[in-house]
Amino acid sequence: MNSGNYTPIDNQNVSGSVPAVGDPPSHVTVNFGESNLQTFPPAGAQGKISGASGAPRDADDTFNNPTSSSDEPQQGGWIRSLTIAAYRPYFDVDTSDVLERIKDSLFPFRGSFSEKTASNPDLYGPFWICTTLIFVAASVGTFVTFLAHKWQEKEWNYDINLMTWSAGLFYGYVTIVPLALYIILKYFSAPSGLVQLLCLYGYSLFIFIPALCLSIVPQDIFRWLIAGVAGFMSATFVAVNLQNHINSAGESSFIIVAGIFLLQLALSLVLKIYLLTATVEP
Protein backbone atom coordinates (compact mmCIF):
# COMPACT_ATOMS: atom_id res chain seq x y z
CA MET A 1 0.00 0.00 0.00
CA ASN A 2 1.30 3.34 -1.04
CA SER A 3 0.88 5.91 1.71
CA GLY A 4 2.00 8.87 -0.51
CA ASN A 5 5.08 11.01 -0.43
CA TYR A 6 5.37 13.92 2.12
CA THR A 7 7.65 16.76 1.22
CA PRO A 8 8.50 19.30 3.96
CA ILE A 9 8.00 22.94 3.02
CA ASP A 10 10.68 25.43 3.76
CA ASN A 11 9.19 28.63 5.25
CA GLN A 12 11.95 30.69 3.70
CA ASN A 13 10.96 29.63 0.18
CA VAL A 14 7.29 30.64 0.39
CA SER A 15 6.67 33.46 -2.07
CA GLY A 16 3.41 34.67 -0.44
CA SER A 17 4.77 35.24 3.05
CA VAL A 18 3.70 38.49 4.91
CA PRO A 19 6.60 40.72 5.95
CA ALA A 20 6.95 41.50 9.61
CA VAL A 21 5.76 44.91 10.89
CA GLY A 22 8.63 47.23 11.67
CA ASP A 23 9.14 48.70 15.15
CA PRO A 24 7.74 52.25 15.74
CA PRO A 25 10.28 55.06 15.94
CA SER A 26 11.75 55.44 19.39
CA HIS A 27 11.36 59.28 19.49
CA VAL A 28 8.51 61.46 18.21
CA THR A 29 8.91 65.24 18.09
CA VAL A 30 5.81 67.44 18.21
CA ASN A 31 6.24 71.11 17.39
CA PHE A 32 3.80 73.72 18.69
CA GLY A 33 3.41 77.27 17.50
CA GLU A 34 4.53 80.09 19.75
CA SER A 35 1.92 80.93 22.42
CA ASN A 36 0.68 84.46 22.90
CA LEU A 37 -0.47 83.88 26.51
CA GLN A 38 2.88 83.88 28.27
CA THR A 39 2.18 86.89 30.47
CA PHE A 40 -0.99 88.12 32.16
CA PRO A 41 -1.78 90.92 32.49
CA PRO A 42 0.00 92.44 29.49
CA ALA A 43 3.13 94.41 30.12
CA GLY A 44 1.47 97.61 28.96
CA ALA A 45 -1.31 97.51 31.57
CA GLN A 46 -2.12 100.69 33.43
CA GLY A 47 -4.13 101.42 36.54
CA LYS A 48 -4.65 99.35 39.66
CA ILE A 49 -7.92 97.61 39.01
CA SER A 50 -9.02 97.87 35.42
CA GLY A 51 -5.55 97.39 33.93
CA ALA A 52 -6.19 100.16 31.41
CA SER A 53 -7.41 103.69 31.39
CA GLY A 54 -10.33 102.91 29.10
CA ALA A 55 -13.06 100.32 28.89
CA PRO A 56 -12.24 97.02 27.12
CA ARG A 57 -13.11 97.05 23.43
CA ASP A 58 -14.61 94.31 21.27
CA ALA A 59 -12.54 92.72 18.56
CA ASP A 60 -14.88 94.30 16.03
CA ASP A 61 -16.13 97.76 17.00
CA THR A 62 -18.58 97.74 14.12
CA PHE A 63 -20.75 95.13 15.86
CA ASN A 64 -22.58 97.77 17.87
CA ASN A 65 -22.17 100.65 15.46
CA PRO A 66 -21.22 99.85 11.86
CA THR A 67 -20.39 103.48 11.13
CA SER A 68 -18.19 103.98 14.18
CA SER A 69 -14.53 104.74 13.84
CA SER A 70 -11.72 104.78 16.38
CA ASP A 71 -10.60 108.12 14.92
CA GLU A 72 -13.83 109.88 15.94
CA PRO A 73 -13.42 112.48 18.72
CA GLN A 74 -14.59 111.62 22.23
CA GLN A 75 -17.70 113.27 23.68
CA GLY A 76 -16.93 116.17 25.96
CA GLY A 77 -18.59 118.76 28.17
CA TRP A 78 -21.77 117.97 30.06
CA ILE A 79 -22.57 115.01 27.82
CA ARG A 80 -19.43 113.17 28.93
CA SER A 81 -20.18 113.91 32.61
CA LEU A 82 -23.33 111.80 32.28
CA THR A 83 -21.42 108.69 31.24
CA ILE A 84 -19.93 105.98 33.46
CA ALA A 85 -16.52 106.39 31.84
CA ALA A 86 -16.22 109.90 33.27
CA TYR A 87 -16.35 108.57 36.85
CA ARG A 88 -14.27 105.42 36.41
CA PRO A 89 -10.96 107.09 37.42
CA TYR A 90 -12.45 108.05 40.81
CA PHE A 91 -13.02 104.38 41.66
CA ASP A 92 -9.57 103.19 40.57
CA VAL A 93 -8.24 102.41 44.06
CA ASP A 94 -7.38 99.19 45.82
CA THR A 95 -7.83 98.01 49.39
CA SER A 96 -4.46 99.30 50.58
CA ASP A 97 -5.29 102.82 49.34
CA VAL A 98 -8.64 102.89 51.12
CA LEU A 99 -7.19 101.54 54.37
CA GLU A 100 -4.35 104.05 54.26
CA ARG A 101 -6.79 106.93 53.83
CA ILE A 102 -9.01 105.65 56.63
CA LYS A 103 -5.96 105.50 58.88
CA ASP A 104 -5.07 109.08 58.00
CA SER A 105 -8.59 110.20 58.96
CA LEU A 106 -8.02 108.80 62.46
CA PHE A 107 -5.00 111.10 62.96
CA PRO A 108 -6.61 114.50 62.34
CA PHE A 109 -3.67 116.72 63.30
CA ARG A 110 -1.38 115.53 60.51
CA GLY A 111 -3.15 117.60 57.89
CA SER A 112 -1.56 115.71 54.99
CA PHE A 113 -4.65 113.97 53.64
CA SER A 114 -5.45 116.54 50.95
CA GLU A 115 -1.85 116.58 49.79
CA LYS A 116 -1.70 112.78 49.52
CA THR A 117 -4.98 112.50 47.62
CA ALA A 118 -4.53 115.56 45.39
CA SER A 119 -3.44 113.50 42.38
CA ASN A 120 -5.86 110.59 42.94
CA PRO A 121 -9.01 111.49 44.93
CA ASP A 122 -11.52 108.66 45.05
CA LEU A 123 -15.25 108.28 45.57
CA TYR A 124 -15.17 104.54 46.30
CA GLY A 125 -14.20 104.90 49.96
CA PRO A 126 -16.57 107.80 50.72
CA PHE A 127 -19.52 105.98 49.14
CA TRP A 128 -19.08 102.81 51.19
CA ILE A 129 -18.22 104.69 54.37
CA CYS A 130 -21.38 106.77 54.03
CA THR A 131 -23.52 103.74 53.17
CA THR A 132 -22.14 101.73 56.09
CA LEU A 133 -22.73 104.66 58.42
CA ILE A 134 -26.38 104.85 57.34
CA PHE A 135 -27.05 101.21 58.23
CA VAL A 136 -25.05 101.39 61.47
CA ALA A 137 -26.86 104.55 62.62
CA ALA A 138 -30.28 103.10 61.85
CA SER A 139 -29.44 99.74 63.44
CA VAL A 140 -27.93 101.20 66.60
CA GLY A 141 -30.74 103.70 67.02
CA THR A 142 -33.35 100.95 66.59
CA PHE A 143 -31.56 98.60 68.99
CA VAL A 144 -31.15 101.21 71.71
CA THR A 145 -34.79 102.23 71.43
CA PHE A 146 -35.88 98.59 71.59
CA LEU A 147 -33.90 97.99 74.78
CA ALA A 148 -35.30 101.13 76.37
CA HIS A 149 -38.89 100.07 75.71
CA LYS A 150 -38.26 96.49 76.77
CA TRP A 151 -36.68 97.38 80.11
CA GLN A 152 -39.36 99.94 80.78
CA GLU A 153 -42.02 97.33 79.83
CA LYS A 154 -43.50 99.50 77.11
CA GLU A 155 -44.80 98.54 73.70
CA TRP A 156 -42.25 98.96 70.91
CA ASN A 157 -42.78 99.27 67.18
CA TYR A 158 -40.06 99.43 64.54
CA ASP A 159 -39.81 102.80 62.78
CA ILE A 160 -38.73 102.40 59.15
CA ASN A 161 -38.42 106.18 58.85
CA LEU A 162 -35.19 105.99 60.84
CA MET A 163 -33.42 104.36 57.89
CA THR A 164 -34.80 106.92 55.46
CA TRP A 165 -33.85 109.78 57.76
CA SER A 166 -30.31 108.44 58.13
CA ALA A 167 -29.87 108.11 54.36
CA GLY A 168 -31.10 111.63 53.77
CA LEU A 169 -28.86 113.05 56.50
CA PHE A 170 -25.55 111.47 55.50
CA TYR A 171 -25.94 111.41 51.73
CA GLY A 172 -27.22 114.97 51.81
CA TYR A 173 -24.48 116.19 54.14
CA VAL A 174 -21.60 114.59 52.25
CA THR A 175 -22.93 116.04 48.96
CA ILE A 176 -24.33 119.50 49.76
CA VAL A 177 -21.63 120.68 52.18
CA PRO A 178 -18.66 119.95 49.86
CA LEU A 179 -20.55 121.53 46.96
CA ALA A 180 -21.21 124.70 48.96
CA LEU A 181 -17.62 124.76 50.17
CA TYR A 182 -16.41 124.35 46.58
CA ILE A 183 -18.28 127.52 45.59
CA ILE A 184 -17.04 129.43 48.65
CA LEU A 185 -13.40 128.52 48.08
CA LYS A 186 -13.66 129.48 44.44
CA TYR A 187 -15.11 132.85 45.42
CA PHE A 188 -12.25 133.47 47.88
CA SER A 189 -9.62 132.64 45.23
CA ALA A 190 -8.60 129.38 46.91
CA PRO A 191 -10.26 126.86 44.58
CA SER A 192 -10.22 123.16 45.33
CA GLY A 193 -11.42 120.21 43.27
CA LEU A 194 -15.00 119.15 43.96
CA VAL A 195 -14.08 115.46 43.94
CA GLN A 196 -11.24 116.15 46.37
CA LEU A 197 -13.68 117.84 48.76
CA LEU A 198 -16.12 114.94 48.44
CA CYS A 199 -13.25 112.57 49.20
CA LEU A 200 -12.19 114.60 52.26
CA TYR A 201 -15.69 114.78 53.74
CA GLY A 202 -16.43 111.13 52.96
CA TYR A 203 -13.43 109.85 54.88
CA SER A 204 -14.09 112.31 57.72
CA LEU A 205 -17.29 110.38 58.54
CA PHE A 206 -15.51 107.09 59.23
CA ILE A 207 -14.90 107.92 62.89
CA PHE A 208 -18.66 107.99 63.49
CA ILE A 209 -18.99 104.27 62.68
CA PRO A 210 -17.10 102.97 65.76
CA ALA A 211 -18.55 105.83 67.79
CA LEU A 212 -22.11 104.71 67.04
CA CYS A 213 -21.23 101.10 67.86
CA LEU A 214 -19.87 102.17 71.25
CA SER A 215 -23.03 104.16 71.90
CA ILE A 216 -24.88 100.92 72.63
CA VAL A 217 -23.45 101.12 76.16
CA PRO A 218 -26.42 102.14 78.38
CA GLN A 219 -24.77 105.20 79.94
CA ASP A 220 -25.87 108.60 78.72
CA ILE A 221 -22.71 110.34 79.95
CA PHE A 222 -20.59 107.82 78.06
CA ARG A 223 -22.62 108.46 74.91
CA TRP A 224 -22.12 112.20 75.16
CA LEU A 225 -18.40 111.63 75.63
CA ILE A 226 -18.19 109.36 72.57
CA ALA A 227 -20.19 111.81 70.44
CA GLY A 228 -17.98 114.69 71.55
CA VAL A 229 -14.70 112.88 70.84
CA ALA A 230 -15.88 111.63 67.44
CA GLY A 231 -17.18 115.06 66.46
CA PHE A 232 -13.97 116.77 67.56
CA MET A 233 -11.75 114.34 65.63
CA SER A 234 -13.87 114.57 62.48
CA ALA A 235 -14.09 118.37 62.63
CA THR A 236 -10.36 118.72 63.27
CA PHE A 237 -9.53 116.40 60.36
CA VAL A 238 -11.55 118.50 57.90
CA ALA A 239 -10.53 121.87 59.32
CA VAL A 240 -6.77 121.21 59.44
CA ASN A 241 -6.63 119.88 55.88
CA LEU A 242 -8.66 122.77 54.51
CA GLN A 243 -6.61 125.28 56.48
CA ASN A 244 -3.42 123.98 54.89
CA HIS A 245 -5.01 124.22 51.46
CA ILE A 246 -6.29 127.78 51.96
CA ASN A 247 -3.00 128.97 53.46
CA SER A 248 -1.11 127.55 50.50
CA ALA A 249 -3.24 129.80 48.28
CA GLY A 250 -2.25 132.85 50.34
CA GLU A 251 -5.74 133.60 51.63
CA SER A 252 -7.13 134.11 55.12
CA SER A 253 -8.76 130.96 56.48
CA PHE A 254 -10.01 131.71 60.00
CA ILE A 255 -13.69 132.35 59.23
CA ILE A 256 -13.99 129.50 56.74
CA VAL A 257 -12.16 126.98 58.92
CA ALA A 258 -14.12 127.99 62.02
CA GLY A 259 -17.41 127.56 60.18
CA ILE A 260 -16.36 124.14 58.85
CA PHE A 261 -15.27 123.03 62.32
CA LEU A 262 -18.55 124.07 63.95
CA LEU A 263 -20.63 122.50 61.18
CA GLN A 264 -18.90 119.16 61.64
CA LEU A 265 -19.47 119.33 65.39
CA ALA A 266 -23.14 120.02 64.72
CA LEU A 267 -23.35 116.75 62.79
CA SER A 268 -22.23 114.76 65.83
CA LEU A 269 -24.75 116.65 67.97
CA VAL A 270 -27.54 115.73 65.55
CA LEU A 271 -26.52 112.07 65.75
CA LYS A 272 -26.64 112.14 69.54
CA ILE A 273 -29.99 113.90 69.78
CA TYR A 274 -32.02 112.24 67.04
CA LEU A 275 -30.52 108.75 66.83
CA LEU A 276 -29.53 108.01 70.41
CA THR A 277 -32.10 109.87 72.51
CA ALA A 278 -33.42 106.73 74.15
CA THR A 279 -32.17 106.34 77.71
CA VAL A 280 -31.69 102.72 78.66
CA GLU A 281 -32.49 102.23 82.31
CA PRO A 282 -31.49 98.97 83.96
Q: What global pTM score does this model have?
A: 0.68
pLDDT reported for residue 22: 52
pLDDT reported for residue 58: 33
7 vs 267, residue with greater confidence:
267
Mean pLDDT confidence for 6-18: 48
pLDDT reported for residue 118: 87
Reply yes or no on whether the pLDDT at 74 is more than 70: no
Helix (H), strand (E), coil (C) string for the chain: CCCCCCCCCCHHHCCCCCCCCCCCCCCCCCCCCCCCCCCCCCCCCCCCCCCCCCCCCCCCHHHCCCCCCCCCCCCCHHHHHCCHHHCHHHHCCCHHHHHHHHHHHCCCCCCCHHHHCCCCCCCHHHHHHHHHHHHHHHHHHHHHHHHHHHHCCCCCCCCCHHHHHHHHHHHHHHHHHHHHHHHHHHHCCCCCCHHHHHHHHHHHCCCHHHHHHHCCCCCHHHHHHHHHHHHHHHHHHHHHHHHHHHHHCCCCCHHHHHHHHHHHHHHHHHHHHHHCCCCCCC
pLDDT reported for residue 28: 52
Reply yes or no on whether the pLDDT at 101 is more than 70: yes
Average pLDDT taken over every residue of the chain: 74
List pLDDT tens digits, range 175-208.
999 999 999 988 887 888 899 999 999 999 999 9
pLDDT reported for residue 39: 41
Reply yes or no on whether the pLDDT at 172 is more than 60: yes
pLDDT reported for residue 37: 42
Mean pLDDT confidence for 135-151: 81
Reply yes or no on whether the pLDDT at 61 is more than 50: no
Mean pLDDT confidence for 8-17: 48
pLDDT reported for residue 71: 40
142 vs 132, residue with greater confidence:
132
Confidence of residue 83 (pLDDT cuts 50, 70, 90): confident
Reply yes or no on whether the pLDDT at 132 is more than 70: yes
Mean pLDDT confidence for 155-170: 81
